[in-house]
Amino acid sequence: SGPATVSPTGQETGADRAAVAQGGEYLTTAQGTRLYDTDHSLKAGPRGPVLLQDHHLREKVMHFDHERIPERVVHARGAAAHGVFTSYGTAASITKAAFLAKDVETPVFVRFSTVLGSRGSADTVRDTRGFATKFYTSEGVFDLVGNNIPVFFIQDAIKFPDVIHAGKPHPDREIPQAQSAHDTFWDFVTLHTEATHHTLWNMSDRGIPRSFRTMEGFGVHTFRLVDAEGGTTLVKFHWKPKLGVHSLVWEEAQILSGVDPDFHRRDLADAIEAGAYPEWELGIQTFPDTPEQTFEGIDLLDPTNIVPEELAPVQPVGRLVLDRNPSNFFAETEQVAFHVGHLVPGIDITDDPLLAGRLFSYLDTQITRLGGPNFPQIPINRPHAPVNDMLRDSFHQTAVHRGVAPYRPNSLDGGCPFTADGAHGAFVETPVRVPEATKVRAAPESFQDHFSQPRRFWLSMSPVEREHIIGAYTFELGKCYEQAVKERALQVLANIDGELCARVAEGLGLPAPEPTVPLADVQPSPALSQVGRTWPTD
């Protein structure tokens, strides 16, 4: 069923309207007037001056002049595909989300991206990769806006502008354009040591995936699932690629950046075109929703933490198959607008302070990027569920809304009823107790341990993965100009592991410092290593 809005021509769907923009047998102006020549300006004689009265010339050049829209402030470079998500029903006992009931098929659109490079940058740089999925469910859009790395640099969204300013090219020379080998990045991540875990993942093989098809995806934050009775469970979302997790080696990544900067987007599109449809399983780790919101001593509200899969196995809940390439990059890949706040009944947020800032940021940035608040009407963003909102007017409004009373209750237009009962509505607050507290700008004590989890990751690596990590730190830090930044980076490494620090220090020709904190007594998590990893379950 379509949205309860109509276009001026009475059509209901964006697809119809897109077809109208390119129909008919003859070339026309934007007003539909037939043209007989689009190659010559109107002139006073063949060698005379061009005439201002040539509307076709002005319209054509004017429209071209405005073709570009701002690229995303982060994740500007991406590639996407359509597909289908089929649920197993294994999560149905803990969430009332309709698309997670047994055997439900839901259309999806997935966009993969790098984070720091501009739209024209290379695919195979060392960076985090975005893995954003739009589920067009029968209950409205659900977006899972994740990355291929399960932790984040910062614990509080108020630092997001800072970490991105540090990671983007230097403001003076705009160098480097798409990777982490520079002073401001290393300055930030060594002054804000909560970034240590994410940085270590970036310096591992995860920072240079072989293909989007061989990447894991992670929702990062802990989410709250809600069942039909109001019972709640905390979860972390995981995407597991059917092809396994594979990376490039650094030399391959560097060569590919020059030989084929489109390597990842070409690989995705070619695979789909050839019928080798990429597949992932969606899985969840589940945790009891206790007042502390911790699991085995791990703070579930801290997005720099993982929960090792040995402690909480990933349980498969459905399967994603990407089977169709976009037909228009701009209309789909560029105009798609993901948002962590696009939730459906049965999936709720937690008090992770990074997530809170994201809830504001995406909507806000899309108002600029997509030219006003009506971007949910763009075909790729339209829910596949009826829309009956009270949002009106503004820039790029293409709907002609019916009725006279966009407010509720009203006695003129049939009332605009809410859903009949709270059970089927979204944004019904889950009754979670907020602790009695005094307002404060501070992080909890449980957010202060920045080295135990990186140490676990390091200890979980196979020998070859460790060599790659040592090589990556040595290469990237070797590109820094500031000696003090390199020294601080070595101090961070000393707090993770002595061998890691000593080997990188040797490569940089600097002394290896002693740790400033006791090295954590943690066990390796074999599931973190890409070597010998088995997934999916079949």
Binding site for ligand HEM (CB under 6 A): 72-75, 78, 111, 113, 130, 132, 145-147, 152, 157, 160, 220-221, 303, 336-338, 354, 357-358, 361-362, 365-366, 369
- Alpha-carbon distance of 480 to 489, in angstroms, equals 11
The letter for the amino acid at 82 is H
Structure tokens at 478: 């070797």
Q: Which helix (H) or strand (E) holds 133?
A: strand 129-137
With respect to ligand HEM, which residue has the nearer C-beta, 88 or 237?
A: 237
CB of 303 to ligand HEM, least distance (A): 5
With respect to ligand HEM, which residue has the nearer C-beta, 186 or 218?
A: 218
Name the closest residue to ligand HEM (Cβ): 130
With respect to ligand HEM, which residue has the nearer C-beta, 334 or 465?
A: 334
CB of 160 to ligand HEM, least distance (A): 4
| Residue 17 CB neighbour total at 10 angstroms | 16
With respect to ligand HEM, which residue has the nearer C-beta, 88 or 280?
A: 280
Catalytic residue among 56, 82, 147, 450: 147
**Residue 147 falls in the annotated catalytic set:** yes
Cα–Cα nearest to 123, from 204, 211, 198, 250:
211
Cα–Cα nearest to 381, from 392, 364, 400, 366:
366
Question: What is the crossing angle of helices 483-494 and 498-508, to 10°?
Answer: 160
CB of 361 to ligand HEM, least distance (A): 4
Q: Are 293 and 301 in contact (CB under 8 A)?
A: yes
**Residue 75 falls in the annotated catalytic set:** yes
With respect to ligand HEM, which residue has the nearer C-beta, 166 or 501?
A: 166
Q: Where are the alpha helices (DSSP H) in 479-534?
A: 483-494, 498-508
Q: What is the DSSP string of 64-124?
A: HHT---PPPSSS-SEEEEEEEEEE-STTTTT---GGGSTT-EEEEEEEEEESSS-TTS-SS
Beta-bridge partner residues of 6: 400
| Residue 246 CB neighbour total at 10 angstroms | 15
Cα–Cα distance list, 278 to 107, 275, 380, 459, 535 (Å): 15, 9, 21, 31, 14
With respect to ligand HEM, which residue has the nearer C-beta, 111 or 342?
A: 111
Catalytic residue among 40, 55, 63, 75: 75
CB of 359 to ligand HEM, least distance (A): 9
CB of 354 to ligand HEM, least distance (A): 5
CB of 102 to ligand HEM, least distance (A): 29
Active site residues: 75, 147
